[in-house]
């Protein structure tokens, strides 16, 4: 699962649109990965505002009254049907009226749900924060191995572009240099060996030309708080054109 598909699954669960299987799957992922649990909690907090901003959107005034009136008129003007063989099914206007009462509430609920879904998905799309900088990390062969998006709130989205073979006693660790002349700072571990979103407090807003890199480190992370292992990929950030 890519980071973007995981974001979509998290948003669907937070919105209450996911089925039981997807909810259970995300719950297992969140229990195994604190970063995913944090992202799910952030999504729920972000979408909580919808409860206060979404208003009911009623049908046009008099819709059901006009529909019932038309059915009444058809029932009054329709001549009695000729006798039919017992085995043949006969559909009458009155049966339509009875059915209408049964599906009326369902129709209203379905229309309201569709409208609410459109509003919520648009709100999620518009509320997704844009990165301050983007960096493409390259390996020694010049191949792109990861995309890094640095957000103003010190959240970093890591999208791996190739599946990496990580030894059982190692882990991938993400680093950056907030200050050009300062030491590297760890942004966190890719403990699952997959794309992830990492958050660390106290760093300045990411800047153009900021260095990002991913290294292989011992399980649990670098013992020196500095990069010690082989470099998987590195690159300098640039500000996206908007």
| 91 inside domain | yes
Rounded to an integer, what distance in angstroms lies between the CA atom of residue 132 and that of residue 240? 7
Domain count, the chain: 3
Cβ 215 vs Cβ 227: under 8 Å: yes
Q: Encoding tokens for residue 101?
A: 């009462």
| 58 inside domain | no
Residue with tokens 């200050």: 179
Q: What is the pTM of this model?
A: 0.50
- Residue 218: give the domain boundaries: 133-236
Q: Torsions phi, psi of 19, nearest 5?
A: -85, 175
Do 150 and 111 sit in the same domain of this protein? Answer: no
Nearest to 212 by CA among 192, 188, 242: 188
Do 145 and 214 sit in the same domain of this protein? Answer: yes
Choose one of 125, 150, 170: the last residue of a domain.
125
**Backbone torsion region of residue 138, taken as left when φ is above 0, otherwise alpha when ψ lies between -120 and 50, otherwise beta:** beta
| 24 inside domain | yes
Rounded to an integer, what distance in angstroms lies between the CA atom of residue 241 and that of residue 121? 24
Q: What is the pLDDT of residues 162-201, one digit of tens each?
A: 888 888 899 999 999 999 889 999 999 998 778 888 988 8
CA angle at 25 for the pair 200 and 149, rounded to the nearest 5°:
30
Q: What is the pLDDT of residues 80-137, one digit of tens each?
A: 655 555 444 444 555 555 555 555 555 555 555 555 555 555 544 445 578 899 999 9
Q: What CATH code is carried by the domain that includes residue 179? A: 2.60.40
Average pLDDT, the chain: 78
| 79 inside domain | yes
């Amino acid at each position: 699962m890519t980071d973007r598909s995981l974001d979509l699954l998290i948003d669907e669960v937070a919105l209450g649109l996911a089925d039981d299987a997807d909810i259970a799957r995300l719950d297992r992922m969140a229990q195994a990965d604190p970063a995913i649990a944090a992202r799910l909690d952030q999504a729920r907090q972000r979408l909580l505002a919808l409860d206060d901003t979404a208003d009911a959107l009623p049908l046009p005034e008099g819709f059901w009254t006009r529909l019932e009136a038309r059915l009444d008129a058809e029932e009054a003007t329709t001549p009695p049907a000729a006798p039919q063989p017992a085995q043949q099914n006969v559909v009458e206007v009155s049966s339509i009226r009875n059915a209408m009462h049964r599906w009326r509430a369902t129709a209203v609920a379905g229309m309201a749900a569709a409208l609410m879904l459109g509003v919520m998905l648009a709100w999620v799309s518009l509320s997704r924060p844009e990165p301050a900088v983007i960096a493409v990390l390259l390996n020694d062969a010049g191949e792109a191995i990861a995309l890094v998006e640095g957000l103003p709130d010190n959240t970093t989205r890591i999208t791996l572009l190739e599946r990496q073979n990580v030894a059982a006693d190692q882990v991938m660790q993400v680093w950056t240099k907030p200050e050009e002349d300062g030491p590297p700072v760890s942004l966190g571990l890719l403990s699952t060996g997959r794309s992830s979103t990492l958050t660390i407090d106290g760093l300045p807003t990411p800047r153009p030309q900021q260095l990002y890199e991913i290294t292989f480190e011992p399980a649990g992370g670098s013992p020196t708080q500095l990069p010690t292992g082989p470099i998987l990929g590195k690159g300098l950030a640039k500000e996206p054109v908007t």
